[in-house]
Structure 1
Amino acid sequence: MSDLSPNDAHANRVKWESFWVCVGVACLTILDLSKINVGLPSIEESLHGGATELQLIVAGYALAFGLALVPSGRLGDIRSRRRMFLIGLTSFTLASLLCAVAPTIEILVIGRILQGVAAGIQMPQVLGLIQQLFQGRERGKAFGLFGAVIGLSTAFGPTLGGLLIAIGGHEDGWRLLFWMNIPLGLIAIWFAWRLLPKKQIHEAGVTSLDVTGILLLGAATFSLMLPFVLTTGGPNDDPKRWFWLIGFVVAGVAFVWWERRYLRIGKSPVVHFGLLRLSSYRNGILIATAYFAAIPAMFLIVTLFLQQGLGLEAVYAGMVSIPFALASAVTSWLGGRLVNTHGRSVVVLGVTLAGLGIGATLPIAAFASEEWMPWLLAAVLTVAGAGGGFVISPNQTLTLQEVPVTQGGVAGSVAQVGQRVGTAIGVAVASSTFFATLYAEQGLENPVTMYRDAYLKGATIIVALLVLALVISLLDLRKRTEPAV
């Protein structure tokens, strides 16, 4: 028999219904990051896109996503998370329609960038709403379920994409990747309108938006991500793109100066640097940045290796990630429960398993037969997936553990910016290394050897990124286990 009164039981049911609306929309957003990978060869053939356009379809989404996060998170905190959620979801549905009917590669790139902006509007509201709805141990459980769904979305994306391409045909099946968002988006809009909370606690005395700070942060983020987005590994890459990093430094310094000045005159800046003094928040962002630099890049080059190198159909290439997805879902749920008692050690275990699983793909790619390779990759990626589940939801819980609820949206946004920057850099570095190896080894008698070498070099970078995440996790764990002086 339940100890809850009827009113409490109703409130609890509404709270969890709102949670599942948020998670469903986050799932739709993340699916668009991962399912597109298997569609790239079909898009290349259908719309005659080159390496730059294909890179923009993947990394341009992440770039736009990253740019929209912080201003959207701040607006949600000081105005209405529910309203911003609905704006983002509606925009995402319309941008998906543009992608689905795109007649040229250029229109598709524009549609993907608009999708990224819309995703960047709605994702901070998801994180802010989860913090608003749940407290204490219940928040760990909620983030555990959230991580499980995100893990499933990330890893099942390629499989779902492959099935849709098989249904729609190789020439235009990729359009179904975007058509599926239309009915799902409309259903989500209806549930969001009905269920999401209309009231929220606001930061006292804050009604204005730090527009200058937002523009400077946007300029810094754009200048940092753009040269990586434009990196394809081909011979036509313009070395002048790296000059954008000067803009990143200038805009970054100006942003820090402005934010400190803005705070001194008694106003609320877009980013409270005091949050970065929280080691749980700061280290959590660094760990997530390194992890998300590795995992999306891994899915991309595994898919390219299997489809282009071994000639697997899109649906079979996507199915290799299913064990990763299932293992990740289980350990995300479990990690959300363990994090309250074991803290950062859960994340250390997760990063270690992820590194071992992806590291094990190196000898498989180098020496396994073509027939056995997909099966062996799926097996070791199960270990990586188990690790990934222990990273995402526990790290999310620890990152936001000490953050005030009134700053939940913008705090989650800054953390998400780290993830999107990491994704753009990781995908660019790993995929450009992959393609540069193919360009360098063109003409080999056995083309599979060329793809083996390309995968080995790209995957080595991914393992190095996970080692970096492990080092940060161990340093944070050590800090938390040192006796207080």
Structure 2
Amino acid sequence: MTTQPDSGSLIHVYGSDRVIHRGLMQLVLMSILAMAMMAISAINVALPSIESSLGASNSQVQWMLAGYALVYGMVLVPAGRVGDVLGRSSVFMVGLAVFALGSLGCAVAQDPIWLNAMRIAQGVGAGIASPQVNGAIVQYFNGLARAKAFAMFGLVVSVSVAVAPSITGVLINWLGAETGWRASFFWNVPIGVTALVAGIRWLPFETERHRRAQRATGTLASHRIDLDPLGMVLLTGSVLCTMMPFMIKTLASFGLLLVAGVLGFTWVRWERAHKARGGEPMVDLSLFAHRSFTNGVLVSGVQFLGATSIFTVLALYVQSGLGVSAIVSGLLGLPNAAASAWASLWAGHRVLNNGRRIVAWAFVPHLAGIAGTMMIAHFVESGDLDALWLAVPLVLSGIGVGAINSANQTLALSDIPVEMGGTSGAVKQVAERMGTAVGNAMISGTLFAGTAAAGWALGFQLAFGLIGVVLLVAAVLAVLDLRMLGPGTATNTWVPARSNDLEP
């Protein structure tokens, strides 16, 4: 049995007299998404200060970036499955608490080993909580309201990644290098605590209430909970072995890709066999029969392969290559964030009828922004323009990425059943995290190779050129998706879950 949305913004929770406001619930849900995304990009600006403060080695600095992303990607799908079965609200709260504690640990770290351990804790918390956001939106929002909710999802992702370096730069400039980098982690603590308190009041905890009701009536024991632990181990191992080589970056480590392939193949065979025997697989592979989902995952995975490296490359180039301060480096992302926010909301209001057309055409300004940044960088190098001019063409990229993330999120999950909401969102995020890991390694490697050969100017041009090529591939995939499935989505009505959807 499940709660059905009421008209307007209110929903009545099953088994309770509580009334939940969707807007307030969404505010709580977006808190972890914002912090998780900011944790990816904020550290780029803080790394020089951290390295100096803690005396970190190059490998330790590398793991400050890689450890978070690696664990985040590993935890997503198992956490999505647990939330779908045991209750998304409770699992979300656990993840949020772990992330906040990890952030506090980072802020007070006195050596690189402790900081890396706490970054891993942040990644665990983010990976636990993030899939619950997708699942809750699929469950409690319908039609245009769902499209707007996913528009906000896309807005938060785009803006958080872009604005975090600016905030970190301001903190370091204002508080000094030592206190500033610590503050860039500590800001998550009051936000996390506030979200935890608000979550107690504004999250529905519906599945949990249903399970308590079953326990009270003695019917819970008749239902076997199947979390598919072997499936979790196999997929987690495959994700780990896929992402690890691109973070370690040694020749021997790429042998793990063979292990990843074997584990992935074994996982697929196990999931099919487990379902055939009457079990409940962690990921029901029929999920990929939804072409809207499969195509959306492909587009976003390739887009993340290129786009998420933009501000990493930019921060390295302007700080190390041009000698620009951390605050100026951070400020370069603000216009991009504002443009992305506007485009996310604009696309969210139009996605139902024209979503795929929006995604395909949004790659035009995205690519134009990359080309424009490369051109402006040439004049910055020659001294004809100030480094702040690099922010101007990135406004176009902000428009593109905001519209793409917003519309694609809605399209990819438009046909997904409610009971698969968390798992499907987690699968999509895993593709994005893997794209981010591979892209960062590939594009930063290109940057450093070009820099070693002929200086920062060539390295930057080669890295941004590679970003453009990757985005062009994503654009082709978006056009193919448009031709295959048409411009919009037919999901304009909410289909209520079956009466046993919330039963384990």
TM-score by length of 2: 0.88
1:408 aligns with 2:430: no
Counterpart selection for 2:385 from 328, 351, 372: 372
Counterpart selection for 2:439 from 395, 412, 426: 426
Give the match for residue 291 of structure 1.
Answer: 303
Shift of residue 432, structure 1, vs aligned partner: 1.8
Shift of residue 440, structure 1, vs aligned partner: 3.8
- Larger mean Cα displacement after TM superposition, 48-57 or 374-383: 48-57
* Contact 2:9/2:21, CA 8 A, preserved across alignment: no
Counterpart selection for 2:163 from 156, 163, 187: 156
Give the match for residue 408 of structure 2.
Answer: 395
* Contact 2:173/2:327, CA 8 A, preserved across alignment: yes
Give the match for residue 213 of structure 1.
Answer: 231
1:203-250 Cα shifts (integer Å, max 9, x gaps): 99772100000100001000000000113xxxxxx3111111111111
* Contact 1:433/1:454, CA 8 A, preserved across alignment: yes
* Contact 1:77/1:410, CA 8 A, preserved across alignment: yes
* Contact 2:88/2:136, CA 8 A, preserved across alignment: yes
Letter of the structure 1 residue corresponding to residue 155 of structure 2: A
Give the match for residue 107 of structure 1.
Answer: 114
* Contact 1:365/1:373, CA 8 A, preserved across alignment: no
Counterpart selection for 1:37 from 41, 44, 60: 44
Question: Which ranges of structure 1 fall in alignment gaps of 5 or more residues?
Answer: 232-237, 442-449
* Contact 1:38/1:318, CA 8 A, preserved across alignment: yes
Q: Map 1:318-357 onto structure 2 (within 5 A).
A: 318-357=330-369
- With over 3 angstroms needed to count, the CA separation of the structure-2 counterparts of 1:343 and 1:88, relative to structure 1, is same
1:243-271 Cα shifts (integer Å, max 9, x gaps): 11111111111111111110110111111
* Contact 2:20/2:202, CA 8 A, preserved across alignment: no
Give the match for residue 235 of structure 1.
Answer: none
- Larger mean Cα displacement after TM superposition, 296-305 or 48-57: 48-57
Shift of residue 288, structure 1, vs aligned partner: 0.9
Letter of the structure 2 residue corresponding to residue 269 of structure 1: P
Give the match for residue 269 of structure 1.
Answer: 281
* Contact 1:42/1:172, CA 8 A, preserved across alignment: no
1:197 aligns with 2:204: yes
Letter of the structure 1 residue corresponding to residue 247 of structure 2: V
Give the match for residue 456 of structure 2.
Answer: 451
1:25 aligns with 2:32: yes
Letter of the structure 2 residue corresponding to residue 220 of structure 1: S
Give the match for residue 246 of structure 1.
Answer: 258
Query: Residue 269 of structure 1: SS of its match in structure 2?
Result: coil
Letter of the structure 2 residue corresponding to residue 383 of structure 1: L
Question: In structure 2, how many angstroms separate the alpha carbons of the residues matched to 1:8 and 1:457?
Answer: 52
- Larger mean Cα displacement after TM superposition, 74-83 or 107-116: 107-116
Question: In structure 1, how many angstroms separate the alpha carbons of the residues matched to 2:319 and 2:55?
Answer: 18
Question: In structure 2, how many angstroms separate the alpha carbons of the residues matched to 1:431 and 1:7?
Answer: 47
Query: Residue 178 of structure 2: SS of its match in structure 1?
Result: coil
- With over 3 angstroms needed to count, the CA separation of the structure-2 counterparts of 1:398 and 1:205, relative to structure 1, is farther
Letter of the structure 1 residue corresponding to residue 351 of structure 2: V
Give the match for residue 449 of structure 2.
Answer: 436
* Contact 1:46/1:172, CA 8 A, preserved across alignment: no
Letter of the structure 2 residue corresponding to residue 153 of structure 1: S
- With over 3 angstroms needed to count, the CA separation of the structure-2 counterparts of 1:230 and 1:370, relative to structure 1, is farther
Give the match for residue 447 of structure 1.
Answer: none
Give the match for residue 462 of structure 1.
Answer: 467
Counterpart selection for 1:169 from 176, 180, 196: 176
Q: Map 1:219-230 onto structure 2 (within 5 A).
A: 219-230=237-248
Question: In structure 2, how many angstroms separate the alpha carbons of the residues matched to 1:454 and 1:176?
Answer: 31
Query: Residue 403 of structure 1: SS of its match in structure 2?
Result: coil
- Larger mean Cα displacement after TM superposition, 159-168 or 317-326: 159-168
Give the match for residue 94 of structure 1.
Answer: 101
Shift of residue 275, structure 1, vs aligned partner: 1.1
Question: In structure 1, how many angstroms separate the alpha carbons of the residues matched to 2:34 and 2:468?
Answer: 26
Letter of the structure 1 residue corresponding to residue 246 of structure 2: F
Question: In structure 2, how many angstroms separate the alpha carbons of the residues matched to 1:118 and 1:322?
Answer: 27
Give the match for residue 491 of structure 2.
Answer: none
1:58 aligns with 2:76: no
Question: Which ranges of structure 2 fall in alignment gaps of 5 or more residues?
Answer: 1-5, 212-221, 488-504
- With over 3 angstroms needed to count, the CA separation of the structure-2 counterparts of 1:12 and 1:329, relative to structure 1, is farther
Shift of residue 370, structure 1, vs aligned partner: 4.0
Give the match for residue 446 of structure 1.
Answer: none
Shift of residue 371, structure 1, vs aligned partner: 5.9
- Larger mean Cα displacement after TM superposition, 268-277 or 73-82: 268-277
Give the match for residue 310 of structure 1.
Answer: 322
Question: In structure 2, how many angstroms separate the alpha carbons of the residues matched to 1:140 and 1:430?
Answer: 33
* Contact 2:31/2:191, CA 8 A, preserved across alignment: no
Alignment RMSD, CA only? 2.3
Query: Residue 360 of structure 1: SS of its match in structure 2?
Result: helix
1:29-77 Cα shifts (integer Å, max 9, x gaps): 2111121111011112222323332222123211110000001000000
Letter of the structure 2 residue corresponding to residue 83 of structure 1: S
Query: Residue 343 of structure 1: SS of its match in structure 2?
Result: helix
- Larger mean Cα displacement after TM superposition, 404-413 or 173-182: 173-182
* Contact 1:68/1:117, CA 8 A, preserved across alignment: yes
Query: Residue 21 of structure 2: SS of its match in structure 1?
Result: helix
* Contact 1:59/1:427, CA 8 A, preserved across alignment: no
Question: In structure 1, how many angstroms separate the alpha carbons of the residues matched to 2:190 and 2:87?
Answer: 25
* Contact 1:89/1:185, CA 8 A, preserved across alignment: yes
Query: Residue 177 of structure 2: SS of its match in structure 1?
Result: coil
- With over 3 angstroms needed to count, the CA separation of the structure-2 counterparts of 1:395 and 1:11, relative to structure 1, is farther
